[in-house]
Amino acid sequence: AQSVTQLDSQVPVFEEAPVELRCNYSSSVSVYLFWYVQYPNQGLQLLLKYLSGSTLVKGINGFEAEFNKSQTSFHLRKPSVHISDTAEYFCAVILGNYGQNFVFGPGTRLSVLP
């Protein structure tokens, strides 16, 4: 079985400050990892994904994430946040072979304060 943990349910941060949203997963097989963002009353939008290759992945809106296999982590970072980044962020994992569905973490609510 696999699960996704997002330790921080809420992260308040001031505008233009850096932010890190943490994600850890548990899986005994190789995984594909994703970060999605959800704005209020909307569906989920892909920020970035890790399939293989370079462990540092760059996504949209200035976000990046680093895959760390030894720590089973895939933390999301942004060096300088904007008010418009206020949203819910979900980490997700899918099995590496023939996996058919994503397992989502519980989400982290990022609130960017002026």
Partner 1 sequence: DTGVSQNPRHKITKRGQNVTFRCDPISEHNRLYWYRQTLGQGPEFLTYFQNEAQLEKSRLLSDRFSAERPKGSFSTLEIQRTEQGDSAMYLCASSLDGSGNTIYFGEGSWLTVV
Question: Which residues in this chain contact partner 1 in the complex, by CB under 8 A?
Answer: 4, 32, 34, 36, 42-46, 49, 51, 90, 92, 94-107
Q: How far is the CB of 112 from partner 1 (least distance, A)?
A: 19
Would you tell me how many other CB atoms lie within 10 Å of the CB of residue 57? 21
Sequence length of the chain is 114
Nearer to partner 1 among residue 49 and residue 77 (C-beta): 49
| Pick 11 or 94: Cβ nearer partner 1 | 94
- With respect to partner 1, which residue has the nearer C-beta, 2 or 15? 2
**Strand 108-113 to 103-104 pairing:** unpaired
The pair of structure tokens assigned to 33 is 């990892």
Report, in Å, the least distance between residue 92 CB and partner 1.
Answer: 8
CB 82, min distance to partner 1, A: 23
Whose structure tokens read 């970035």? 48
CA distance 5 to 92: 9
